[in-house]
Structure 1
Amino acid sequence: MKKYITFFTLMFVIAITVPFSVFAEENNNALKLAEEAKSAILLEQDTGEILFNKNDQEQLPPASMTKIMTLLLIMEALEEGKLNKEEMIRVSDRAASMGGSQIFLEAGEEMSVNDLLKGVAIASGNDASVALAERISGSEESFVEEMNKKVKELNLENTKFQNTTGLPAEDHYSTAYDMAIIANELLKYETITEYTSVYEDYLRKGQDNEFWLVNTNKLVRFYPDVDGLKTGYTNEAKYCLTATAKRNDMRVIAVVMGAETPKERNAIVSGLLDYAFNQFETNKLFDKDEKITEVQLLKSKKRSIDIVSNQSVSTLHKKGETEKDITTEIVLEEEWDLPVKKGEEVGKLYVKDGEKILSEVPLTVEEDVEKASYLTLLKRTMQEMAKIR
């Protein structure tokens, strides 16, 4: 009888051990190549938590991953109404003269913002990048100033841009960490993946100079759920890639810099994505633009102001772990300097595990907040006085 008990006990131990051993081995293999990378990082979007990093602060040439910042400023201009997708842009001599990857724009040609955006996001067109930069800022040089200004706004200490394209230039550098942060900021404009996820498309469809766009990021086609973001290559930078994928409400960003071959680059990123989706999951607390709270403002035209988060809010944990005791704390500005523009930060949402702050998320106003007129203020003041009596 004891022999049977021992046999079944052994079989049970094998049954529960083998899957975990295989699972652990798969995760080790997924990270093996990443450990050998020159520079790499894996970031979860909502929490900003770093799941893996290797030399992520090393300053390296980012090549065409530079265009992630270019795309960020383009999306900002669209959001702010400084640009619209249907607008036709006349291509300058300078934009048409850009070398490297291009969509072969001709000087004097007119192309819509929407098609130029496709040219940048899908085909990494240097000419399209410069054409859009010149339209937004007047010149590429002025646009680059805005790029570096944005770097400072994001508190990035190891990035400096000299052009919009990533073509080789002295004193043009970034890091895996900084590229992940810029990518995270770009992905807040959720429509960007409508461009970066496209594997192939056409420009000038049906015309003699029709151009076939093919995404430089092959993982868009060959890795499930990858919907961006940007490749890069120069002789100095080697093969680079910032990729993003979303599965079950969890979006992650993987960056690799300095790989020797495109195959190695894609394998490292694929391994990082495998690791993220095999090991971790998120619990969503709030959707992007969901109302978090409201505030009553005596001096605003509209008395009740909705406060929202400009990004989705989640917690992150390893699969199989019990959920943490999560709480949230809202801290709003005490004094408001009206008017306040839509999207302007007016406070923070803190996600906590006990006293430990897991993440802090900017809170913004859902719409423009205008000053109340003198008559409205007088009326409200009298109402408040009547309540006191």
Structure 2
Amino acid sequence: MLRVPTTTGTADAPDAADAADDGTTSPRATGAADRGTTHLRVADKAPAGPAPAEPEAERPAAPPAPDAPPDSARDPLELLAALTNRPPPPPTPWRTAVRRFKIWTPLVLLLLIVLAVVQSVRPLPEPVLDLTAAESYAFEGDMPEVPWPAAGQATLSVAGLGTFGSSGEQEPIPIASVAKVMTAYVILRDHPIEGDGTGAEITVDQLAEDEAALSEQNESTVVVRAGSTITQEEALQAIMIASANNVARLLARWDAGSEEAFVEKMNEAAAELGMDDTTYTDPSGLMAETVSTSEDQTRLAQAVMEYPVFRDIVILPEYTDSLGVTHPNWNHLVPLGGVVGIKTGTTTAAGGNLMFAARQEVGGTSQLIVGAVLGQPPHPSDNSILTGARESGRALMTFAQEQLRAETVLAAGDVVGEVDDGLGGRTPVTVTEDVQAVGWPGLEVGIELNGGDEGVPSSADAGAEVGQLTVGDGPGQVVVPLALEEALAEPGFSARLTRIG
């Protein structure tokens, strides 16, 4: 029994019901007023029966299991069950499928929307022309027999079309003044002359004046005055028409600072042109160690004839220098019979040499015939190696002119290709006029499609020109416009949406 002091007064007695619930009989308090205290019995043990439940709001949450996954990784239905104190429904294939559908469908739809937007705004591929016609055309017949020189070596070609072949063993041999063609090529490549201009002003040094006297030693030179200036055009005329060795060396010093440095540039240019059997040792060709082959010199002939100022110079039968002296062209074949150059070269060691070029009009085109003859012996008519080289070259040029012919390859309106928009769309294109190929029996020429200067359009009306068809290559190729057979439109939304790559 525990005694609890109270304030003076009468304490309420516990009622009968409380006593009954307690399982004990509480004696009536007597003399409470006299003693000023009240006696309270405390049960020795917990009352029988279930204890009253605590309010749910105040019940502490059970700690998570040690190996329970974080809420972010738990199934949404399990989280919902945990929050509502309800167990998740038992898994079934149907509920699993529905749950996955609800989770993944929005993600897939979002991905499809993003993909559609990206595909629709991606830049379109550049349209291109594809050839559907034959890639080449072969002229019927066998290759005609070429009148090759009996000695030395020779090569005959038509720029952009092909070659008639070569004769003789293609071994490097001295080429004499034909080497000046490479000197002119390097000068024009590094110091181009535009339009009707005459090029840079070149100051004549004392060495060039002194070397003019070498003409007394059977070396080709022209008189120049130290301290004066000559134009670049006059210097090129001097080396290509008068074959002036002293001016060739002057050009080398002017361009590269020394003849040795210029010779390095000559050999570098030869390598770039694929002249694998050529070696230059001086800018004039006087040295016997400057060697090449007819095939290599024909490559150079085609390259150098691309310069308009060079073509204008080598076709001249003569020129007059700044001192008023007129110099005849050593190549007496120009401009007779369509011959347009290029350069002779003769020495005792080299024999007679000629790099040549001629023109022939055929099929509405101007074809450029180029070639070279090297190591020619004296001609029976005058026992001259120069005559021997000129006559051998003349025979080859005349033969090529006679063999060239034009044949109709395609008729106007023929479908020859299509515009490919890069996404599966193809629009046919046709030639707007008859197409002729230029060649000779046994020759096969290539056929190509090319876009215009601004490329192939992405959309255009039917009949609009979208490019050209070319037959052959180089300055003599045949070019015919291409037109759309039907309207060309940009790819639609479905094509954009389904594009790959």
TM-score (norm 2): 0.50
| Deviation for aligned residue 1:201 | 2.0
Choose 98-107 or 56-65, whichever is displaced more.
98-107
AA in 1 matched with 2:402:
N
Q: Is the 2:154–2:294 contact (alpha carbons within 8 Å) kept by the matching residues of 1?
A: yes
1:157-168 → structure 2 map (5 Å cutoff): 157-168=276-287
Distance 1:247 1:139, change over 3 A: same
CA distance in 2, matches of 1:211, 1:144: 29
Matched, 1:270 2:397: no
AA in 2 matched with 1:151:
A
- CA deviation digits over 1:249-268, x for unaligned, max 9? 11111211111222222221
| Deviation for aligned residue 1:56 | 5.7
AA in 2 matched with 1:237:
A
Which SS does the other structure have where 1:257 is aligned? strand
Which SS does the other structure have where 1:79 is aligned? coil
Match for residue 269 of structure 2 among 112, 131, 150 = 150
AA in 2 matched with 1:328:
E
Matched, 1:119 2:242: no
Match for residue 176 of structure 1 among 294, 303, 307 = 294
Distance 1:177 1:56, change over 3 A: farther
Which SS does the other structure have where 2:327 is aligned? strand
Matched, 1:41 2:155: yes
- CA deviation digits over 1:87-111, x for unaligned, max 9? 3211123333444111122333321
1:283-362 → structure 2 map (5 Å cutoff): 316-318=438-440, 327-328=447-448
AA in 2 matched with 1:156:
M
TM-score (norm 1): 0.63
Partner of 1:95: 208
AA in 2 matched with 1:254:
G
Partner of 1:256: 373
Distance 1:315 1:131, change over 3 A: farther
CA distance in 2, matches of 1:234, 1:327: 44
Which SS does the other structure have where 1:164 is aligned? coil
- CA deviation digits over 1:305-352, x for unaligned, max 9? xxxxxxxxx954226x8x979531569xxxxxxxxxxxxxxxxx9978
Which SS does the other structure have where 2:369 is aligned? strand
Distance 1:46 1:126, change over 3 A: same
Q: Is the 1:250–1:281 contact (alpha carbons within 8 Å) kept by the matching residues of 2?
A: no
Aligned length: 274
Matched, 1:228 2:341: yes
Which SS does the other structure have where 1:266 is aligned? helix
Partner of 1:280: 404
CA distance in 2, matches of 1:53, 1:148: 23
| Deviation for aligned residue 1:53 | 1.3
CA distance in 1, matches of 2:203, 2:242: 20
- CA deviation digits over 1:334-378, x for unaligned, max 9? xxxxxxxxxxxxxxx9978xxxxx7699xxxxxxxxxxxxxxxxx
Q: Is the 2:344–2:386 contact (alpha carbons within 8 Å) kept by the matching residues of 1?
A: no
Partner of 2:108: none
Distance 1:88 1:236, change over 3 A: same
- CA deviation digits over 1:83-139, x for unaligned, max 9? x73532111233334441111223333212121121112111112212222222122
| Deviation for aligned residue 1:269 | 0.9
Distance 1:153 1:210, change over 3 A: same
Partner of 2:330: 216
CA radius of gyration, larger in? 2
CA distance in 2, matches of 1:68, 1:239: 16
AA in 2 matched with 1:229:
I
- Gapped runs of 5+ residues in structure 1? 1-23, 286-313, 332-348, 353-357, 362-386
Q: Is the 2:159–2:473 contact (alpha carbons within 8 Å) kept by the matching residues of 1?
A: no
Q: Is the 2:156–2:370 contact (alpha carbons within 8 Å) kept by the matching residues of 1?
A: yes
CA distance in 2, matches of 1:233, 1:58: 18
Matched, 1:239 2:352: yes
Q: Is the 1:238–1:257 contact (alpha carbons within 8 Å) kept by the matching residues of 2?
A: yes
- CA deviation digits over 1:255-289, x for unaligned, max 9? 1111122222222111101110111236899xxxx
Q: Is the 1:246–1:252 contact (alpha carbons within 8 Å) kept by the matching residues of 2?
A: yes
CA distance in 1, matches of 2:314, 2:408: 25
CA distance in 1, matches of 2:292, 2:209: 26
CA distance in 1, matches of 2:408, 2:262: 36
Matched, 1:54 2:173: no
1:183-222 → structure 2 map (5 Å cutoff): 183-204=301-322, 209-221=323-335
Which SS does the other structure have where 1:220 is aligned? coil
Q: Is the 2:297–2:371 contact (alpha carbons within 8 Å) kept by the matching residues of 1?
A: no
CA distance in 2, matches of 1:176, 1:94: 33
Distance 1:72 1:326, change over 3 A: closer
Matched, 1:135 2:257: no
Distance 1:282 1:265, change over 3 A: farther
